[in-house]
Amino acid sequence: MSEQNRTESEPGTAGPIIAIENLGKKFVVGKTEVYALRNISLTIEKGEIFGIIGRSGAGKSTLVRCINMLEPPTEGRVLFEGRDMGALSKAELNIVRRSMGMIFQQFNLLMQRTALDNVCFPLELSGMSRETARKRAMEMLDLVGLSARAKAYPSQLSGGQKQRVAIARALAPSPKALLCDEATSALDPETTDSILALIRQINREMGITAVVITHEMDVIEKICHKVAIISKGVIAETGRVNQVFFHPKSDIARRLVVPEALHPDKMVVDHLYRLIFDGQSSYEPVLANLILACGQPVNVMYASTRDIGGTAFGQMVLQFPDDPAARQKILDYAAENLIYIEEFSRV
């Protein structure tokens, strides 16, 4: 298959690269057993950008460390390209780990090494010659837009530049998957967007699968194809990002999709409904047409538009009239015109 055809194909059509089966992880604290993860089962397809989102303490960082066996699971299995990671010898595991690049929130660069030498480091550990390693490292720094800073030390780089060096280092051994553990949490919004764009470019042009661990829904919406929501060590919900946005099924998903301004202590009015619109309807006067057709007033309590996978999606929270017949007239119009409206449950 040509490079062009490979990079333009639909993500996830080449089969699974990572399969997690009934995974559990417990820690012993004194005489107490504490489960960080319980019965986790996920399938991540080749070429996907797969997001795992949860609040602090949900277990997401433990999960990503179980994927590459930095934390051996207490129970269950992790398969990488069909191989049971837990059944590998130490030497075999080290070889497989080279196919899993990892980037961290705090960059984890060696402060006494230049950017170039940091990228060379994993290549040196693998036994590559110094000349070949430096050539490969320069190629990776050029890929992330930092070839001009090759001789700079981490203390001379901005946060975004440090993360680009970390990404170049993770890519240097030619991995098949890139594990990103809160990779943008320490960065400002503009720098975050540039790093996310870089991860998306790497995924699209190099075909590398990316697993993105985050607590920010904006990160998921901007680059991920699918998402798993983790809460208290269990998977609460999985699906394509737009599906979870349109139809969140779990309480934790609704809290992530619906902003804090709409939580019950802040939103105390009755008869609230959530209107969803996609890339096409977002350019149409949906609300104006609804009001004109039904002759009923509605109050806009909240509105937002988001870019999910390059398509504009939006939502409004509307307060409908007190009269039940008026509310039903609006709902009937919405159903006839394929406008998605659901009663709004305050989270």
Q: What's the pLDDT tens digit per position in 274-301?
A: 888 766 555 667 778 888 888 888 888 8
Q: Measured between alpha carbons, how far is 61 from 54 in angstroms, rounded to an integer?
A: 10
Please name the amino acid found at residue 31: K
Q: What is the pLDDT, as a whole number, of residue 9? A: 44
Q: What is the pLDDT, as a whole number, of residue 342? A: 80
**Number of Cβ within a 10 Å radius of residue 336:** 9
Which residues 6+ apart lie within 8 Å of 65 measured at CB?
71, 181
Q: Measured between alpha carbons, how far is 45 from 187 in angstroms, rounded to an integer?
A: 28
Same fold, 3-99+175-255 and 272-343: no
Q: What is the pLDDT, as a whole number, of residue 235? A: 94
* pLDDT tens-digit profile, the chain (347 residues): 333 333 344 565 567 999 999 999 999 888 888 899 999 999 999 999 999 998 888 899 899 999 999 999 999 999 999 999 999 999 999 889 889 999 988 888 999 999 999 999 999 988 899 999 999 999 999 999 999 999 999 999 999 999 999 999 999 999 999 999 998 888 888 999 999 999 999 999 999 999 999 988 888 988 999 999 999 999 999 999 888 887 788 888 877 776 665 665 666 678 888 888 766 555 667 778 888 888 888 888 887 777 776 667 777 888 888 888 988 888 888 888 878 888 776 55
Q: What is the pLDDT, as a whole number, of residue 5? A: 38
Q: What is the pLDDT, as a whole number, of residue 276? A: 80
Q: Measured between alpha carbons, how far is 107 from 40 in angstroms, rounded to an integer?
A: 27
Q: What is the pLDDT, as a whole number, of residue 251? A: 80
3-99+175-255 falls under which CATH superfamily?
A: P-loop containing nucleotide triphosphate hydrolases (3.40.50.300)
pLDDT digits (tens, 9 = 90+) for 14-32: 679 999 999 999 998 888 8
Hey, which residues does 311 pair with through a beta bridge? 308
| Cβ proximity of 184 and 195 under 8 Å | yes
Q: Sort 8 into a burial class: Cβ within 10 Å, 0-12 / 13-18 / 19+.
A: exposed
Three-class DSSP category at 161 = helix
Q: Sort 81 into a burial class: Cβ within 10 Å, 0-12 / 13-18 / 19+.
A: middle
Domain boundaries, the chain: 3-99+175-255, 272-343
**Number of Cβ within a 10 Å radius of residue 306:** 18
Q: Which two tokens stand for residue 50?
A: 């797969």
Q: Measured between alpha carbons, how far is 97 from 87 in angstroms, rounded to an integer?
A: 14
In CATH terms, the fold of domain 272-343 is Alpha-Beta Plaits (3.30.70)
